[in-house]
Amino acid sequence: MKLAPFHPGAAPITLAPGRWWVFTDLHLDPQRPEEVDAFADRLGSAPKDLAGLLILGDLFDAYLGPEQWAQAGYRPLVQALQQIRGQVVLLRGNRDVLLEAKDVAPEGWQVADSALMATSLGRLFFSHGDQFCLADLSYQRLRRLLRRPGLRWGLRRLPWAWRSKMARRLRGYSQEVVPRKPMDAKDLILEAVGGHLQSLAAVGAVLGHLHLHRRSELAGGRWLQLLPAWQIDTEAVEFHALAESGALA
Ligand SMILES: [Mn+2]
């Protein structure tokens, strides 16, 4: 099987100690306001002592640019994020690949591609996960293209209507009807996940993207946990972060 080369991308950020709430693949869209409201309500029940909220990508069904945060349909989401007392960390998915740190910096929220957390289990790696889907060669080509700064700069400056049309084309018909259907897991290369964990001295990876709930054991006692796509009744997955010991880089 021919595989695309793995690109680790920017270095992961490190998550602060304390309780973290994790969600992935919400695919929120103002066309489905009941879902935006349901997620906002869920965030409204966040514990007061939360260290942070971590979204593993695809918060949006499509992120077209910073204007989106001001859209009326997303107001409940924005207000709920503003109420979170801890940090808000948004990891980029393939549907919100155009998200930039500066878009949410005024709110004090962070944007990254991946994050590390020290836990009692060992160090955990969090990311969207599409970077490991190396058997999908055409997708990996598109993914690299969409991460070129010049192209991103240009796309973000296209008229809004053009960007909306492009997003609809990229989604395709079936995805539009079933936005969170499970994806083909054979594209995810477990060896690439294991190798990346080893390079980060991490024991486990927690990823989304495939919309599957699945645990895989990897070489060297390492493991991969895939989290399923959010649904209206999905509760947060909670992790407890410890302070990184001096021994960890
Ligand atoms: Mn995805």
Predicted structure pTM score: 0.94
> pLDDT digits over 12-22, tens only?
999 999 999 99
Q: What spacing in Å lies between the alpha carbon of 130 and ligand 1's midpoint?
A: 7
Q: What spacing in Å lies between the alpha carbon of 144 and ligand 1's midpoint?
A: 15
Statement: residue 174 has pLDDT above 70: no
pLDDT band at 228 (very low <50, low <70, confident <90, very high): very high
Q: What spacing in Å lies between the alpha carbon of 57 and ligand 1's midpoint?
A: 7
pLDDT band at 132 (very low <50, low <70, confident <90, very high): very high
Statement: residue 173 has pLDDT above 60: no
List own/partner pairs for 177-185 with CB under 8 A and 24 or more apart: 179/27, 179/29, 179/61, 180/25, 180/27, 180/211, 180/229, 180/230, 180/231, 181/211, 182/210, 182/211, 182/212, 183/209, 183/210, 183/211, 183/212, 184/210, 185/210, 185/212, 185/214, 185/226
Q: What spacing in Å lies between the alpha carbon of 61 and ligand 1's midpoint?
A: 9
Mean pLDDT of all residues belonging to the chain: 93
> pLDDT digits over 79-104, tens only?
999 999 999 999 999 999 999 999 99
Residue 186 confidence (pLDDT): 82
Residue 167 confidence (pLDDT): 83
Statement: residue 42 has pLDDT above 90: yes
Question: Among positive and negative, which fits the CA dihedral 119, 124, 128, 129?
Answer: negative
pLDDT band at 247 (very low <50, low <70, confident <90, very high): very low
Statement: residue 25 has pLDDT above 80: yes
Q: Which of 98, 38, 32 is nearest to 69 (CA)?
A: 98
Statement: residue 249 has pLDDT above 50: no
Q: For domain 13-241, give the CATH number.
A: 3.60.21.10
Q: What spacing in Å lies between the alpha carbon of 180 and ligand 1's midpoint?
A: 9
Neighbours of ion ligand 1 (CB under 5 A): 58, 93-94, 209
pLDDT band at 31 (very low <50, low <70, confident <90, very high): very high
pLDDT band at 178 (very low <50, low <70, confident <90, very high): low
Q: What spacing in Å lies between the alpha carbon of 97 and ligand 1's midpoint?
A: 9
Pull the structure tokens for residue 215: 């645990």
Q: What spacing in Å lies between the alpha carbon of 209 and ligand 1's midpoint?
A: 4
pLDDT band at 221 (very low <50, low <70, confident <90, very high): very high
> pLDDT digits over 153-168, tens only?
999 999 999 998 888 8
Kindly state the percentage of the chain with pLDDT values over 90: 85
Residue 181 confidence (pLDDT): 79
Q: Which residue has the higher pLDDT, 172 or 96?
A: 96
Q: What spacing in Å lies between the alpha carbon of 231 and ligand 1's midpoint?
A: 15
> pLDDT digits over 61-79, tens only?
999 999 999 999 999 999 9
